[in-house]
Structure 1
């Protein structure tokens, strides 16, 4: 059963994460399907840009704790989004947590409706937002990064736009995206590819410099005793032992 739904209209291919019963959590299967779909979009001359969205009330809940992707595989997916020679635009009308925020960071443009919420919840289960920092740190306000990385607080779409986590927000995400998609349809494929190459340089420099170290850190943290307690507590719907 597919976990990534594809549709196409006037040069724009929409890829919808479609595992709502698991809150579109990043399982090895979902990550693999999304990577394959992006590869197909890259090869398809009829695709001018890609919209990444979701079914259900959650864009992405982060890693699937029961069958997570290997950190190397997830890093490769994030880099694939950044390197794709066609713009990738996120459309968010629900909640985004942890690893799902890495997908937003990798996208070139992200639009969210006002009912979307966001949180870096890694610190609360004993790990750190390691690999998702590769696309996020070059784009976000650094004071805000410190606050929300360290506390795991939930933030709304207006705050997410203020700190650079998303590009724009409004009552209706589709209304926000309408002029964006119109602009992409009016742009030449060559112009889009070369312009994206320019704006991706700083993010790709971060991947080149830090990907190996952050992947190793992520793997080490997820296999630690505190992470096991944090993930067990999450699955059992209780506070972990360190909560005061």
Structure 2
């Protein structure tokens, strides 16, 4: 069952088949950035998957060459960044608390807030050639809103290098750092993702739900305790003159 044909303007599509709910980010014109529309549709799709009796496992994937480029900077320049940061925190919480395993298929570039989706997922399979970067430091920012999921996944040395350097690293590095579960050659990505989803799908619904809750309990507690503080930090940094200048320069280079 797919909703793609019924709503062609959607930037997030939902379909379920053989126990697998597939959520596809489909906004290649802005590199699957976390726009208000994409975020709203993604949360709705996650809620739908949670309630869907035909879905036992949830897969998040994307079209285009980029998995997710992070916050939509064009929108961020005109909206409330604290609200935007709280929304990114809410997406991570929804993935963490979804009563079904969430697998993320990373085929291309992942930047900034998109890394939070990957880190919040229970299993993340990446192409070795995919690229990652926590670029906030380059814009006078910090990866505040995603830190609660990203930092616990990575070794402390890897996190320091990735967050302070803001440099690009590949899928194989992301696996070594702990950010993704495994990295495989791009030609084998679908095969690896299918195998993981099939394996997870053999679990009993109650077992999957309760085991996932045990695994993610501390992450959810930390996110709930620190979420407002981290959103406020994001808003303060985004509102600074240094960050505004850096974002304007970035947007002008991107045109």
Q: Please, what TM-score do these two structures have when normalized by structure 2?
A: 0.91
Q: Post-superposition, which runs of at least 4 consecutive aligned residues in structure 1 deviate over 6 A?
A: none
Would the aligned equivalents of 2:112 and 2:136 in 1 still touch at CA under 8 Å? Answer: yes
- Name the counterpart of 2:17: 9
Of 19, 32, 38, the match for 2:46: 38
Deviations 1:187-207 (A, max 9, x none): 111110011001101211221
- Name the counterpart of 1:213: 229
Deviations 1:121-152 (A, max 9, x none): 00101111001111112221111101110010
Higher helix share: 2
Asked if residue 120 in structure 1 is aligned to residue 128 in structure 2, the reply is no
Would the aligned equivalents of 1:138 and 1:202 in 2 still touch at CA under 8 Å? Answer: no
- Name the counterpart of 2:206: 190
Of 102, 120, 130, the match for 1:88: 102
Of 113, 117, 130, the match for 2:144: 130
CA RMSD of aligned residues (A): 1.2
C-alpha separation in 2, matches of 1:109 and 1:162: 14
Asked if residue 51 in structure 1 is aligned to residue 65 in structure 2, the reply is no
Specify the SS of the correspondent of 1:96: strand
Gapped regions of structure 2 (runs ≥ 5)? 1-8, 77-82
- Name the counterpart of 2:191: 175
Asked if residue 25 in structure 1 is aligned to residue 39 in structure 2, the reply is no
Would the aligned equivalents of 1:24 and 1:59 in 2 still touch at CA under 8 Å? Answer: yes
- Name the counterpart of 1:70: 84
Shift, 1:178, TM fit: 2.7
- Name the counterpart of 1:242: none
Aligned length: 238
Deviations 1:20-46 (A, max 9, x none): 011000111111110011111111111
Shift, 1:209, TM fit: 2.5
Of 93, 99, 102, the match for 1:79: 93
Shift, 1:236, TM fit: 1.2
Deviates more, 1:4-13 or 1:85-94: 4-13
Gapped regions of structure 1 (runs ≥ 5)? 239-244
Specify the SS of the correspondent of 1:34: helix
Shift, 1:160, TM fit: 0.2
